Amino acid sequence: MSDNKVNISGEQINYNDNNVLDALKLNPQQKKTGTIKSIIFTIIAIIVFFVPVTINGSTDIVFGTIYKTIKSVLGLVGIWMICSIIIVNGPLSIYSKFICKNKESKLYKYYEDDSIVHAIFYLLGSAFAVVYVLDQTFAAFSGPEWLVGAHTGGTVFPVAIDVAWIIPVSAFFMPFLLNYGIVDLIGSLMEPLMRPVFKVPGRSAVNAIASFVSSSSVGVLITSKLYRSGVYTKKEACIIVTGFSAVSVGFAYMAIETAGLAEHFLLVYFLALLITLIISFFMARIPPLSTKESVFIDGRKQTKEDIQRERHSDEGALKKGVERAIKKAYTAPKLFTEIKNSLKDGYFVLPKVISLLAAVGTVAMIVANYTPVFNWIGKVFEPLLMLLQVPNAAEIAPSFPVGIAEMFLPVMMIADKVEMLAAGARYMVVTVAMVQIIFFSETIVVMLSTKMPISLKELIICFVERTLIAIPVTAVFMHILF
């Protein structure tokens, strides 16, 4: 077995394939080793990603506490560090695309797959970052309100800086979550629900949980890692990343409180999770997601046997899940090697992710706040809202399309009208915003930057579909509650 361990570390055997994993036989000593590793490292993963802690009166999960502490300790220095990455990334991308002649250089290869549009947005992000960091640093310098104000760059750049720390911190701990069996155990237990209802493996439930308790970015990063590891097919990855990378509890509370519904927080939040699942049920069955290929990243087509191997009777699911967890932990590559590779992957996408966040997110927020574009689009939703007897239909209609710019923006649009709007209207706005999932200031650019097998056009279509499904479903709950 020791020889096989060497092969495993060299990735000669794919133990992400359940057929290979199930065929593996371990002796008692190997089972004991696998059990110990699985328990210890899974406990670490659970503590980091899912356990809330209270420090100085502030409650957050350990993962959130770690990256926020780093951000807080670095303060203005951290802002300069992140903005410097954005500032440098723009000119480097332009140099790579238009000036660099050495096609074998690391710089050229880094930007090789990016289009000219990417380079333009990177450069735009650089310009925005220069203005933002100067505005934050020097009292004598005041950037234009339309660029660095609280409703534009002032919203987007703090998100980009958060994501810049989320990526390396999550990358460091990701091997604990993915390599030692918890994903395989949950996958076996959840398969009877996830596969027939959402057409995805049971292990995708981990993505949903991670998104709920930490951030949407973490959910996307987990999906990307599992897709590139050959665990998910293109179709499964796209369904998961657009349907289960939900907003975190903390972010949801901020939105619900702003809408004046804090006293109903638990009910509103858990109903939003239920509505998210209902929407995902429909999304998996309509284009563009339904037409995605059931093909793994290496080109192998998913077979009925692949799907069947995920299924067990209720009596056998737990046993099979535990067996897989033990085998996965035993065959896991060396921990420090995996952490190193995970950090390398994280740092590889970081400049592109935060640059696109800065550029696309800020532009989207400027359009939303300083042009009537979203008001015009919002008119399309008025007849539907009126048909569903939603109160204040005309006032809240523009909030639904604006969610594609930033999840919090729809709620911000009604923040100064809370007293004038019916509770049902406010419930509609905040709930639809939370279940749309797809927005430019974070999830869209993270999905595109991590090379998920879905295009920008398809993401926009998915956003529209999710919104059109969300409105009537949410209206049903609105009439029940209010």
Tell me the per-residue pLDDT of 67-104, one tens digit each, with 9 for 90 and over. 889 999 999 999 999 999 999 999 999 999 889 888 88
| Residue 189: how many other CB atoms lie within 10 Å | 20
In sequence order, what are the beta bridge partners of 59? 54
Nearest residue to 400 (alpha-carbon basis) of 330, 332, 472, 307: 472
**How confident is the model at residue 213, as a pLDDT?**
54
Q: Is 301 helix (H, G, I), strand (E, B) or coil?
A: strand
**How confident is the model at residue 3, as a pLDDT?**
35
Instruction: Give the tokens for residue 221.
Output: 């990063």
In sequence order, what are the beta bridge partners of 61? 52
In sequence order, what are the beta bridge partners of 52? 61
Tell me the per-residue pLDDT of 282-319, one tens digit each, with 9 for 90 and over. 999 999 999 999 999 988 998 888 787 666 554 577 88
Residue 390 and residue 377: Cα distance in Å, rounded?
Answer: 18
Segments of the chain scoring below 50 in pLDDT:
1-11, 314
Q: Is 310 helix (H, G, I), strand (E, B) or coil?
A: helix
Tell me the per-residue pLDDT of 372-390, one tens digit each, with 9 for 90 and over. 998 899 889 999 999 999 9
Nearest residue to 251 (alpha-carbon basis) of 205, 219, 224, 283: 219
Integer Rg of the chain from CA: 23
Instruction: Give the tokens for residue 248.
Output: 């975190």
58: left (phi over 0), alpha (psi -120 to 50) or beta: beta
Please state whether the peptide bond connecting residue 201 to the residue before it is cis, i.e. omega within 30 degrees of 0. no
The residue written with tokens 């390599």 in the block is: 179
Q: Contact at 8 Å (CB) between 399 and 429?
A: yes
How many separate helices (H) and strands (E) can be counted in the chain?
26, 2
Residue 365 and residue 378: Cα distance in Å, rounded?
Answer: 16
- The per-residue DSSP string of 27-70 comes to -HHHHHHHHHHHHHHHHHHHHHHH-EEEETTEEEEHHHHHHHHH
Angle (CA) 204 341 355, round 5°: 80
Q: Is 303 helix (H, G, I), strand (E, B) or coil?
A: coil
Residue 468 and residue 160: Cα distance in Å, rounded?
Answer: 29
In this prediction the pTM is 0.73
**How confident is the model at residue 209, as a pLDDT?**
66
**How confident is the model at residue 216, as a pLDDT?**
73
**How confident is the model at residue 2, as a pLDDT?**
35
Instruction: Give the tokens for residue 481.
Output: 């509650």
Instruction: Give the tokens for residue 223.
Output: 């999906």
Residue 237 and residue 61: Cα distance in Å, rounded?
Answer: 26
